[in-house]
């Protein structure tokens, strides 16, 4: 699946594929079962330059494009969706708004160390009554002398238990429009709530947060103006959707590889099961959908890198890739039959973890509305 990649892009794939094969895959199951943030591998990814990859050189980054980042993230997800989720949060959602809007102090004290993996960032949007509906966000920021006081709740905050800082969307001003704030872990009034037990991505910690009269100084209002938060968020949504599609392709590749290996090794009625048409049809469907998903994801990434409109294409890529990956992981489990249900085989983990990609970046139902709106404009 090189799609005419440059020699530099192929080198990135080879480097991260080697890292995954040697360091991630052998311990992915144990990390998952430990239900703990994969700090050692996280630090190794920082050493490989992953967190800095998407940012310009003058900001301490590597100046790579979205295509290169998708290549790396796809490989990581092939080894561990939990690690890929941690990496995506740190590389994009957790640090993007600091780079876009942060002052010199924020950039030097938090952003640059985050690119080196020395600080961990997270983003806070979802609330108990606000997911896809941004208008449902109820967290409020009240202006006071020298800053703002935040009150409200957030949930499904990826990396929250280990994060050093949080990008928070809250309503501010008389009109109550979305505004972006930077909240550091040490700020009084911030409470890290219960950790959410999930069906999959067990090594990706996710928690609730509460803001109880949490004072945030004026220097930590990332928004240049009150109410510009939604516009900044929408600029980033396409990237989030494309990288989620890349992660879906990574776990789908892992599931297909596992099914192919098992089908070649498992014999029934005197021959390997990959000689039976029923199994062959499943494998063919899985491979074809994966190929189509990869084309959609990398085309959307190419459009983004080229500065071309890609809002619809990003939604299409994420929609198809995540749904196809879910089908692929299910079919892989069917190929393994009872062993697809056994914890000793990784397919059960792929089947659980892939659902993470159905949610992140927008549900399939929301993405269909986004696509239809573009088509009918």
The owner of tokens 């009554």 is: 129
What are the 10-residue block averages of pLDDT along the chain, 377 residues in total? 80 97 97 95 98 95 96 98 97 96 97 98 94 88 97 96 97 93 98 96 96 98 94 91 98 98 96 97 98 97 96 98 98 97 96 96 95 93
Give pLDDT, residue 81: 98
The owner of tokens 């196809």 is: 324
Q: List alpha helices for the chain, DSSP H.
A: 7-19, 25-34, 39-47, 66-79, 81-88, 96-101, 104-106, 112-115, 229-265, 277-305, 311-336, 347-353, 355-359, 364-375
Give pLDDT, residue 159: 96
Tokens representing 115 are 């690119």
Q: How far apart are CA 331 and CA 235, in angstroms?
A: 35
Give pLDDT, residue 2: 61
pTM, entire model = 0.95
Give pLDDT, residue 209: 96
> Helix axis angle, 81-88 relative to 229-265, nearest 10°?
160
Helix, strand, or coil here: 208?
strand
Give pLDDT, residue 5: 84
CA-wise closest residue to 216 among 156, 134, 151 = 151
Give pLDDT, residue 236: 92
Helix, strand, or coil here: 330?
helix
> Which residues have CB under 8 Å from 238's CB, separation 6+?
300, 304, 310, 311, 314, 315
Tokens representing 172 are 């501010």
Give pLDDT, residue 127: 93
Give pLDDT, residue 298: 97
In 190-216, which positions are buried (b, 16+ CB within 10 angstroms) versus exposed (e)?
bebeeeeebebbbbbbbbbbbbeebbb
Q: How far apart are CA 337 and CA 20, in angstroms?
A: 27
């Amino acid at each position: 699946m090189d799609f005419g990649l440059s020699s530099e892009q192929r080198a990135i794939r080879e480097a991260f594929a080697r890292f995954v094969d040697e360091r991630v895959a052998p311990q992915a199951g144990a990390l998952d079962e430990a239900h703990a943030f994969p700090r050692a591998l996280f630090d190794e990814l920082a050493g490989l330059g992953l967190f800095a990859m998407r940012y310009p050189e003058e900001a301490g980054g590597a100046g790579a494009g979205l295509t290169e980042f998708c290549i790396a993230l796809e490989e990581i997800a092939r080894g561990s969706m939990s690690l890929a989720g941690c990496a995506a949060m740190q590389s994009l959602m957790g640090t993007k708004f600091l780079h876009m809007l942060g002052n010199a102090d924020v950039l030097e004290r938090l952003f640059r160390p985050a690119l080196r993996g020395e600080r961990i960032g997270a983003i806070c949007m979802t609330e108990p009554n606000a997911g896809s509906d941004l208008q449902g966000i109820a967290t409020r920021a009240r202006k006071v002398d020298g800053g703002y006081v935040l009150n409200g709740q957030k949930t499904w905050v990826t990396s929250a238990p280990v994060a050093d800082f949080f990008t928070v969307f809250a309503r501010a001003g008389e009109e109550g429009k979305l505004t972006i704030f930077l909240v550091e872990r040490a700020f009084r009034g911030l409470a890290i709530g219960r950790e959410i037990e999930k069906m999959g991505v067990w090594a990706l910690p996710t928690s609730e947060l509460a803001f109880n009269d949490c004072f945030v100084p004026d220097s930590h209002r990332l928004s240049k103006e009150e109410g510009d938060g939604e516009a900044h968020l929408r600029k980033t949504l396409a990237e989030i959707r494309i990288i989620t599609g890349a992660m879906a392709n990574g776990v789908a590749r892992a599931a297909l590889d596992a099914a192919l290996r098992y089908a070649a090794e498992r014999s029934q009625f005197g021959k390997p099961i990959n000689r039976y048409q029923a199994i062959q049809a499943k494998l063919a469907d899985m491979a074809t959908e994966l190929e189509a998903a990869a084309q959609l994801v990398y085309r959307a990434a190419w459009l983004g890198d080229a500065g071309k409109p890609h809002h619809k294409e990003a939604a299409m890529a994420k929609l198809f890739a995540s749904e196809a990956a879910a089908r692929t992981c299910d079919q892989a489990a069917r190929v393994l039959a009872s062993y697809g249900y056994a914890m000793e085989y990784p397919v059960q983990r792929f089947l659980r973890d892939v659902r993470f990609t159905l949610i992140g970046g927008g549900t399939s139902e929301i993405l269909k509305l986004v696509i239809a709106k573009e088509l009918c404009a």
